[in-house]
Structure 1
Amino acid sequence: MHMASPIQLLLIAVVILVLFGRGKIASMMGEFGKGITAFKRGVREGSEEIEKSASEQARDVTPDGKDKA
């Protein structure tokens, strides 16, 4: 696999800046940041829910109904 050189990355950045303009790029980066934050929050909440569910299942070991012993 071929890595892009710093000159190639700079050229790509200049082309993107010319095509979209500084304001549009700043707006897109803000939205990108919000998306990353929302994704991280969703992952954290999902793992918390899984841990909560696992701990509830681990505590409740008594069978439902009457004992038949």
Structure 2
Amino acid sequence: MGIGIWELLIVLVIVLLLFGTRRLRDVGADLGAAIKSFKNALGEGETESPAKPKELAQIEAQGGTERQVEEKPERPQREPLEP
């Protein structure tokens, strides 16, 4: 037993009476603009592609993708303190 069509229609009529059609239209337009800007923001991240395959091949040929790690000198060991 869920919400049927009649319950939805009653809720819609009550909302229309409370807010009016003009205010609902404004809310719908604002909601649509917000969704559109959100989708555009998501799309901007997708258009920025990583380096092209040719550039990657050149970097790998130069040895630029390997991590350069410097070896740290060992710390000198201390003598234990005598009691």
Q: Same fold (TM over 0.5)?
A: yes
Q: Which has the higher contact order (CA 8 A, sep 6+)?
A: 1
- 1:34 — aligned with what? 33
Partner SS, residue 63 of structure 1: coil
Alignment of 1:1-69 (within 5 A): 3-49=2-48, 52-53=49-50, 56=51, 59=56, 60-61=59-60, 62-64=62-64
Unmatched segments (≥5 aa) in structure 1: 65-69
C-alpha change, 1:34 and 1:15, in structure 2 (3 Å) is same
Higher relative helix content: 1
C-alpha change, 1:43 and 1:14, in structure 2 (3 Å) is same
Q: TM-score scaled to structure 2, two decimals?
A: 0.60
Seq. identity, %: 24
Q: Once superposed, which parts of structure 1, at least 4 consecutive aligned residues long, lie more than 3 Å away?
A: none
Q: TM-score scaled to structure 1, two decimals?
A: 0.70
User: Letter of the aligned partner of 1:14 in structure 2?
Assistant: V
Unmatched segments (≥5 aa) in structure 2: 65-83
Larger radius of gyration: 2
